[in-house]
Structure 1
Amino acid sequence: MTWQILVADDDLIIRNLLKECLELQNYSVILAGNGQEAISLAKIYHPHLLISDIIMPLKNGFELVKELRDIKEFELLPVIFLTNKDGIQDRVNGYQAGCDIYLEKPFNPPELIAIIKHLFTRHNVQLSQTKSDVKLDISLTNRERQVLRLLIKGFSNLRIGEELYLSSKTVEKYVSNLLRKTGSTNRTELASFACKNKII
């Protein structure tokens, strides 16, 4: 499985530096230039981890993480704040907002990679515990089953919408419901879980 990391930073140089650093570790990287864009991309791609600056236009890092934490599927999303704000109160605010790790810029690439690997290891344990509690007699509506069948085939939200005569936004809602019901964090896990447990 390829881990997906969402990077939110309004500094293009930092975004590209992080992308290069992470892709060398074979991570898939999604880039956002502000907090609002990051929210939208998170809902589309369902990343496994977020690396975010704090000071950004439209929606800052604190607001971004708080909003994500209010969404069921992102409750356990590992979050790293990577920022120039290095005051004690800034760190307190960061952890209160819901971040797991608070790093100052400039960052040390080997340290960042070590932290990411640690968070992914811990995240896997949490997911395993969560999924062990998921009942396999998951109740799905007919429409959810239709969406799931097409998702397993690898169809995008747009393609699913075209097949079922639904808007992309409506398909996104169904996919979010399916992720929540199965305890999955992204489309790949959802498809694997559905096939393994024969829920359709």
Structure 2
Amino acid sequence: MPGQLLLVDDEPGLREAVQAYLEDSGFTVDVASNARDGLELAHQKLPDLVITDIMMPQVDGYQFLKQLRDDPQLKSLPVVFLTARGMTADRIQGYTAGVDAYLSKPFDPDELVAIVSNLLEKQAALRTASETDDTHNIADMARQIAEIRALLTQRGAIAQSPSPIKIDFTPREQSVLELVVDGLMNKEIARRLETSVRNVEKYVSRLFSKTGTNSRTELVRFALEHGLTR
């Protein structure tokens, strides 16, 4: 199952070889040579999965994993450790820290591809289950949005003039925001914009981050209060 990956490793030779093999296997791969740059790239690209070395200068793999798990946008990302430390105690430490898979160097590239594919398939299954739950909640969500619109209209809270705040949305983020406010769920938005549900999830996550909201209802309320929709 092709997906967008982030590879973080401070060894240039290994990094380039793994990137090339993964790309030959159909994946899109962004790379970073250290955890700091990796975290920045993760925020920019919102990858489907992260592959990282453990033994890196300044910020090691365990610290990097903690940064990912502590970040609301990134905490659910599958993470694979690539490391020369392959003792049982090391593996236990990795899994205890929350890593999804642990592969010791040297490793067979085909095994890495199999691990990555398996984790992405599990993520896809979880998203499908989530979409099913969303479908069951569409009526309730529509009711909540209708109530928010009515409440804000009654209080005169919907901005009738330029928004008092300025948020730098990309054109696609703005399009997704408009559709969320209209009450569409991710699957419907993906169909309308001719993109994948995963991409819509990324845009909605970015909207949450930029507006400081944590749910679709909060996002709709925030957008209406500040006149962020046309």
Q: Establish whether TM, by shorter chain, passes 0.5.
A: yes
2:22 is paired with a residue whose SS is helix
* Larger CA deviation: 101-110 vs 143-152: 143-152
Of residues 66-75 and 133-142 in structure 1, the stretch that sits farther from structure 2 once superposed is: 133-142
1:20-169 matches, within 5 Å, as 20-134=20-134, 137=141, 147=169, 149-151=171-173
CA distance in 1 between partners of 2:3 and 2:94 (Å): 24
Query: 2: distance between equivalents of 1:83 and 1:49?
Result: 17
Partner of residue 177, structure 1: 208
5+ unaligned residues in a row in structure 1: which ranges?
155-171, 183-198
Q: Decide which structure has the larger Cα Rg and report it.
A: 2
CA shift for structure 1 position 150: 3.9
Quote the offset at 1:148 in angstroms.
6.4
Which digits, 9 at most, give the CA deviation of each residue in 1:157-180, with x for residues without a partner?
xxxxxxxxxxxxxxx9x8251696
Aligned partner of residue 107 in structure 2, secondary structure: coil
- Structure 1 vs Structure 2: percent identity of aligned residues? 30
TM-score (norm 2): 0.62
Contact 2:51 2:80 in 1 (8 A): yes
Separation of aligned partners in 2, 1:83 and 1:147: 39
Letter in structure 2 aligned against 1:65:
L
Deviation sequence 1:64-94 (CA, Å, 0-9, x none)? 1111111223232111101001122211111
Change over 3 Å in CA distance of 1:113–1:144 after alignment to 2? farther
SS of 2:73's equivalent in the other structure is helix
Match of 1:18 in 2: 18
- Per chain length, whose mean CA-contact separation is higher, i.e. which structure has more relative contact order (CA < 8 Å, sep 6+)? 1
- Cα separation, partners in 2 of 1:68 and 1:144, compared to 1, 3 Å: farther
Q: TM-score, normalised by structure 1?
A: 0.70
The equivalent of 2:223 in structure 1 is none
CA contact 1:7–1:29 (8 Å) conserved in 2: yes
CA contact (8 A) 1:4 1:47 kept: yes
SS at match of 1:30: strand
Using a 3 Å threshold, how does the CA distance of structure 1 residues 54 and 13 change in structure 2: closer, same or farther? same
Q: CA deviation at 1:147?
A: 2.5
Residues 141-194 of structure 1: CA deviation (Å, up to 9, x unaligned): 98799836543679xxxxxxxxxxxxxxxxx9x825169646xxxxxxxxxxxx
Superposition RMSD on alpha carbons, in Å? 3.4
CA distance in 1, matches of 2:32, 2:171: 30
Distance of 1:100 and 1:149 partners within structure 2: 34
Change (3 A) 1:67 1:176: farther
**Letter matched to residue 33 of structure 1:** S
Contact 1:144 1:178 in 2 (8 A): no
